[in-house]
């Protein structure tokens, strides 16, 4: 197998390039060794074209829910929010993204392109394969909102739940089970449990065709799915996680990103693209300084006349 001489290209679909979760995932994938491109969802018909120019795909979450009509739900829960209210421009963008990501997921599976779905991205993956969703987790847990911490003032980098990883799954291999390094307070957890974040009010109900459960929360909510080793996608890398690995509440974040890079590298080696999507502009321009001495000189100049002290070169 020939070795590729460039980093693999991974496309990310999400709200926008600079959205916090999208930027965090991009940073994590870049740290793991990938070149990351943001996939423009404003023209859903281009999903297939985009897939021909990347080595792997990540579908991120959203504050809006999958339309229950997509999984033939008899009713729409009052807490299910499909589009924004009184904002026609954002509504149009949300609907375009929905159509784009549905095409992206289905075509990625068809073309055997490595695929990761995060939060709503996992839910949409499940629905695309014939699965269903619980529209409001508190209805299952006696009103508890312990899976949706975004309104509690808790950052996404803070672990707020324990998740059991199913032994023998791809996710367990990625995590390093039987022992993923855990914080001191969690060192007495069973070896296949990890602490993680949680920001969702919906969850997988019936698992989609060709998928299998790989993670469950301590209160019995499905936290992850992947390609079933005995199913039609057994030779493909398809992974979904309900938590947000991009915020690194546990070491799972970098491990999942590293595995995505591994899978993308394998894809690029075996099925190189004739043409690749170009990388978008950086989050910010690189600093216009040449060396440490130049920084020291700037500080000295700024500090002159406003007190003693300084920085030694």
Q: What is the pLDDT of residue 65?
A: 97
What integer pLDDT is reported at residue 308 of this predicted model?
46
- Flag residues of the chain having pLDDT under 50: 1, 181, 307-308, 313
Structural domains of the chain ordered from first start: 9-146+201-303 (3.40.50.880)
Which ranges of 191-306 would DSSP assign to H, the alpha helix? 252-270, 292-303
**Residue pair 154/174 in contact by the 8 Å Cβ criterion:** no
| pLDDT of 284 | 59
DSSP-derived letter for residue 43 is -
What tens digit of pLDDT does each residue of 211-222 get?
999 999 988 999
Question: Contact at 8 Å (CB) between 240 and 256?
Answer: no
* Rama region for 124: left / alpha / beta (φ>0; ψ in -120 to 50; rest): alpha
**Which of 94, 88, 26 lies closest to 62, judged by CA?**
94
CA–CA distance, 296 with 128 (Å, rounded to integer): 56
Q: Pick the closest to residue 216 from 190, 238, 236 (CA basis).
A: 190
Query: For residue 297, which phi and psi values (nearest 5 degrees)?
Result: -65, -40
User: Is the whole model's pTM more than 0.95, yes or no?
Assistant: no
């Amino acid at each position: 197998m020939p070795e590729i001489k460039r980093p693999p290209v991974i496309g990310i679909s999400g709200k926008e390039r600079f959205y916090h979760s999208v930027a965090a995932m991009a940073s994590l994938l870049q740290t793991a060794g990938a070149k990351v491109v943001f996939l423009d969802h404003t023209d859903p018909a281009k999903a297939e074209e985009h897939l021909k120019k990347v080595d792997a795909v990540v579908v991120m979450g959203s504050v809006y829910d999958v339309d229950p009509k997509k999984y033939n739900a008899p009713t729409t829960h009052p807490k299910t929010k499909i589009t924004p209210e009184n904002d026609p421009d954002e509504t149009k963008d949300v609907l375009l993204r929905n159509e784009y990501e549905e095409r992206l997921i289905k075509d990625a599976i068809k073309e055997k392109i490595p695929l990761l779905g995060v939060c709503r991205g996992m839910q949409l993956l499940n629905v695309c394969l014939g699965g269903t969703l619980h529209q409001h987790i508190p209805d299952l847990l006696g009103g508890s909102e312990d899976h949706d911490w975004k309104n509690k003032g808790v950052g996404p980098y803070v672990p707020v739940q324990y998740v059991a990883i199913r032994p023998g799954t791809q996710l367990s291999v990625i995590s390093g089970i039987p022992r993923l390094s855990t914080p001191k307070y969690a060192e007495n957890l069973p070896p296949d449990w990890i602490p993680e974040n949680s920001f969702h009010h919906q969850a997988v109900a019936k698992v989609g065709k060709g998928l299998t459960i790989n993670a469950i929360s301590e209160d019995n909510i499905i936290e992850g799915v992947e390609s079933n080793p005995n199913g039609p996608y057994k030779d493909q890398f398809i992974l979904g996680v309900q938590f947000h690995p991009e915020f690194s509440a546990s070491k799972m974040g970098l491990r999942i990103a590293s595995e995505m890079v591994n899978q993308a590298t394998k894809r690029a080696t075996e099925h190189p693209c004739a043409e690749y999507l170009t990388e978008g502009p950086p989050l910010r321009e690189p600093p216009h300084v040449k060396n440490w001495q130049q920084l020291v000189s700037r500080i000295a100049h700024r500090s002159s006349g406003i007190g003693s002290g300084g920085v030694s070169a």
